[in-house]
């Protein structure tokens, strides 16, 4: 087996074995603490521009299958693990992780001390790096490129090109417009399962087109990159807010909504990526274990108290995990209530979104 390496921007070098596709790839190095769900991680558009290190030491033991992907392809720049299983054992398995990485063109690295790498990222913060296979050693120009690498135009790179309509599962009760900032398939599934016809729209769709589309509510999806970069989308959201339509935002959708109402966002030291983050819903006075994947957060102190309030907080670090608009049927969460695998206790938020639609319908009668 060929050797492979990870070179970090601080000069640290990790040596392991090449897995997946051979080559070299520059990315922002982040870590995910989930014990399962590597296929979902690989296909989550929120990881666009990033190389992911899985902290759980055994990856690939249940293979990959045609059902668990969160989007049409893999978006990661590279994939790092302690040990990749050479055996895929699961009744749903269609292929091995190694074969999937090769097919998707993902440069992989196994056999390194992922605990050490994770400690470096926790102490120093996420940093750029380059994963490369033996024979693809970077020259000085490539190393300089890695050090100055910045994820740009992330939403433009992952959003859908043309509109897609997903029918409701069973009787149709609602029509929902879902803005694709990097949507995960499970968001669509959760809505369809509740009787929604879901229209997936390009992230930059004219808000007047949405308002004229006869939709009952609007979903704002998850997605990658710096939320403040998306100035056009933020302006579009201001028009949607003023319309009074029910809106539910998840992850990047939460951050963009916060920016649209005048709050600020900031880059976190190493972000939240895993399936065991405790979040308190202040309205319910209850704590939930949640799945998360984000490197930016809304600064709670910048939320205008005359417009909205912080409704959800992270119990590990006190960061803002959700906001509730005071005068509109709008709420958002930073975490993923649609997650699979992971805790599904917060799926009630989809029901709350539909209850807001029902309330608006009733008020219009």
Please name the residues in contact with 269: beta carbons below 8 A apart, sequence gap of 6 or more. 122, 125, 126
Strands 330-333 and 247-250: parallel
Q: Do 155-364 and 3-151 fall under one CATH topology?
A: no
pLDDT (0 to 100) of residue 339: 77
Statement: 155-364 belongs to CATH 3.40.50.720: no
pLDDT (0 to 100) of residue 169: 96
| Cβ–Cβ < 8 Å for 279, 290 | yes
Residues of the chain with pLDDT under 70: 363-365
Each domain of the chain, given as residue ranges in start order, spans 3-151, 155-364
CATH number of 3-151: 3.50.30.20
- The runs of H, that is alpha helices, within the chain are 38-42, 97-104, 114-124, 140-147, 154-158, 185-193, 207-211, 231-243, 252-260, 348-364
CA dist., res. 86 & res. 142, Å (int):
32
CA dist., res. 260 & res. 256, Å (int):
6
pLDDT (0 to 100) of residue 1: 81
Number of helices followed by number of strands (H, E) in the chain: 10, 19
| Cβ–Cβ < 8 Å for 203, 155 | yes
Read off the pLDDT of residues 167-221 as tens digits, 9 standing for 90 and up. Answer: 999 999 999 999 999 999 999 999 999 999 999 999 999 999 999 999 999 999 9
| Cβ–Cβ < 8 Å for 353, 190 | no
pTM, two decimal places: 0.96
Catalytic residues: 251, 336, 338
């Amino acid at each position: 087996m060929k050797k492979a390496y990870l070179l970090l921007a601080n000069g640290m070098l990790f040596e392991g074995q090449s897995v997946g596709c051979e080559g070299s790839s520059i990315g922002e190095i982040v870590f995910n603490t989930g014990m399962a769900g590597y296929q979902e991680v690989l296909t989550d558009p929120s990881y666009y521009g990033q190389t992911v290190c899985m902290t759980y030491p055994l990856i690939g033991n249940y293979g990959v299958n045609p059902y668990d992907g969160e989007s049409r392809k893999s978006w990661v720049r590279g994939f790092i693990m302690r040990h990749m299983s050479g055996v895929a054992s699961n009744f749903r398995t269609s292929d091995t992780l190694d074969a999937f990485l090769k097919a998707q063109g993902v440069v992989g690295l196994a056999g390194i001390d992922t605990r050490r790498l994770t400690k470096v990222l926790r102490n120093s913060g996420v940093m750029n790096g380059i994963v490369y296979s033996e024979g693809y050693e970077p020259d000085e120009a490539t190393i300089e490129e890695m050090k100055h690498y910045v994820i740009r135009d992330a939403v433009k790179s992952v959003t859908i090109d043309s509109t897609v309509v997903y029918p409701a599962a069973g009787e149709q009760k609602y029509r929902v417009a879902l803005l694709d900032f990097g949507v995960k398939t499970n968001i669509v599934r959760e809505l369809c399962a509740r009787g929604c016809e879901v229209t997936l729209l390009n992230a930059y769709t004219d808000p007047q087109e949405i308002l004229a589309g006869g939709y009952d509510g609007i979903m704002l999806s998850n997605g990658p990159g710096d939320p403040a970069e998306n100035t056009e989308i933020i302006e579009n959201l201001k028009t949607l807010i003023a319309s009074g339509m029910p809106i539910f935002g998840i992850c990047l959708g939460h951050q963009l909504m916060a920016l649209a109402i005048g709050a600020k966002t900031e880059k976190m030291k190493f972000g939240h990526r895993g399936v065991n983050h405790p979040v308190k819903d202040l309205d319910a006075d209850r704590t939930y274990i949640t799945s998360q994947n984000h490197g930016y957060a809304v600064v709670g102190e910048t939320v205008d108290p005359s417009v909205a309030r912080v409704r959800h907080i992270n119990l590990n670090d006190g960061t803002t995990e959700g906001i509730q608009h005071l005068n509109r049927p709008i709420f958002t969460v930073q975490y993923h209530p649609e997650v699979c695998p992971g805790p599904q206790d917060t799926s009630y938020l989809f029901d709350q979104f539909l209850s807001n639609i029902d309330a608006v319908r009733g008020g219009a009668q």
